[in-house]
A and B are shown apart, each in its own frame.
Chain A
Amino acid sequence: MHQLTSPTLDADVVRRAMHKELSTAARVGYTLLLLVGFTGAGLVGSLWLTEPNPLPPQTHLTFGLLAIINLSWVVFAAWVLTQRKVLYAKQSVISGWMAVVFCIAFLLIGCAIAYERANTNGLIAIGVVATAQFIVAIALLRRAKLRRNVLLARRDVLLKQLAGS
């Protein structure tokens, strides 16, 4: 068995790297990227599907590419947020609120576009998609808040127990 040694890897170095890794700004940035990508894909898709006049093949191709690009960013941001810059309880709540705000924005913008183009089918389609997104966002926010409340309650219990011992 080797003799006990002091770490050659300094704890300060680990702490600095950890602070960099834990940056809230990066997590907010990736959440924004995910939401922008998702909203963008929704908007492009809505425009594409509710176009009243027949479109030339190039326009179909452009719409398709735009949707794919947006969805690629969504997949990338989701991967980062689940595997690399994971969201802690507090950050999950912040992300949940951001998702709710974006869904409302999508609903308003989408409905405005459909209304301006006097497209009833488009208005219904955007309304359905945006409402579904909104329900998911609310569910995510609620789950994040519940999780955070459970952790906070347990933290308080433990603090009391430790203070009493």
Chain B
Amino acid sequence: MVNGGAGGGQGAKTRKADGRSWDFATNTQFTGERARPVRGTFGREIEQVVAPVVLTLFLCGMNRLVLAATIKIKRLIIMPPNTNSLEHELLAIRCQLGELAAFDELVDRWHAPLWRYVRRMADRDELAEEILQEAWLRILRGIVKLREPASLVPWLFGIARRVLMDHLRQKYKQLASNEGLDDQAAQTAEIDSRNDIEHLLYEVDKLPLPQRELLTLYLYYLEELTVDEVARVLDIPAGTVKSRLHHVRNLLKRNLLNEES
């Protein structure tokens, strides 16, 4: 792994190749660290040409233009192909070939992130375990049909999300069919169970705005998914992901400015 952070439950702090860093333990503070981008030879050459131009513009007071241009150039030219995505594609292909070691690697790499993702939505360890077991089974059976091995990561999280939704639907049906029970104990159990399910449904489907945004942030920063990948996992448009990220960043900025003042 080139970039540290997201693998195997190493902690709450994460770092992306483009320098984004986020401390999920506190949910409120940037760590202040900047990851050094991995640059290719071509990238270094371009940078040597661009750097004097950028410096001149900066000295002329065109800070905003410089900032916007730098971000664009970094994304389009300087940053080399994402090594992580190549590794993911390779892992998916090895699994499709049927290499046992690749499946071991898949579990080693993604068990903890999937657990954290499922656990956030399930809100109970037992339910999260059940969902994750089912998700792993579906992953095993479905990976052969994965047409774009490069999109392994959003596919994994998408499966976990679908398993949870199926589970909730099934539970809801069971509750609806058990409505005619007379026994008091059964009724109590049903009410408890219904409350539980309603609570889960509330957590998953009708998350309050900050919670939804934090889930988006979690996938984006901690699991290092791209905007498009997060959109595919959460089944929302990429624009919504961007707006959620933008909204939370603004909130953070405001909080930090308030703290400073």
- Chain A residues packing against B (C-beta within 8 Å): 1-9, 11, 14-15, 17-19, 21-22, 83-84, 86-91, 148, 151-152, 154-155, 158-159, 161-162, 165
Contact = CB atoms under 8 A, between A and B. Distances in A.
A162 B93 CA distance: 14
Interface string B123-151: 10100110011001100110010000100
A9 B133 contact: yes
Contacts of B211: 1
A21 to B, nearest CB: 6
Interface of B: 9, 11-12, 24-25, 27, 38, 40, 80-81, 83, 86-87, 89-90, 93-98, 100, 103-104, 107-108, 111-112, 115-116, 119-120, 123, 125, 128-129, 132-133, 136-137, 140-141, 144, 149, 211, 214-215, 218
A77 B115 CA distance: 33
A89 B107 contact: no
Q: Which residue among B25, B83, B96, B132 has the maximum number of chain A CB atoms within 10 Å of its CB?
A: B96
Given A17-B133, A18-B107, A22-B140, A158 B89 contact: yes
30 contacts: A1-B27, A1-B214, A1-B218, A2-B119, A4-B11, A4-B25, A7-B9, A7-B111, A7-B115, A9-B133, A11-B107, A11-B111, A15-B107, A18-B103, A19-B103, A21-B140, A22-B100, A22-B103, A86-B144, A88-B97, A88-B98, A89-B96, A90-B97, A151-B93, A151-B97, A152-B97, A154-B89, A154-B149, A158-B86, A165-B38
Contacts of B112: 6-7, 11
Nearest to B106: A18
B250 to A, nearest CB: 18
Classify the secondary structure of B's interface with A: helix
A148 B83 CA distance: 24
A161 B129 contact: no
Contacts of A161: 81, 86
A37 to B, nearest CB: 22
Kindly list the 7 A-B residue pairs having the minimum CB-CB distance in the complex, ordered from nearest. Answer: A88-B98, A7-B115, A158-B90, A9-B129, A90-B98, A11-B111, A89-B97
A112 to B, nearest CB: 37
B151 to A, nearest CB: 14
A4 B10 CA distance: 10
Contacts of A89: 96-98, 144
Nearest to B141: A86
Given A4-B116, A83-B141, A162 B100 contact: no
Given A90-B98, A162-B86, A165-B80, A15 B104 contact: yes
* Overall SS of chain A's interface: helix
A146 to B, nearest CB: 13
Contacts of A91: 98
Contacts of A86: 140-141, 144
B90 A155 contact: yes
A9 B127 CA distance: 11
A11 to B, nearest CB: 4
B97 A14 contact: no
Nearest to B114: A7
A139 to B, nearest CB: 19
A94 B125 CA distance: 41
B96 A88 contact: yes
Of listed A84, A148, A155, residue having the most chain B CB within 10 A: A155
Contacts of A87: 144
A61 to B, nearest CB: 39
Nearest to B24: A4
A84 B133 CA distance: 15
A138 to B, nearest CB: 22
Contacts of B103: 15, 18-19, 22
B61 to A, nearest CB: 38
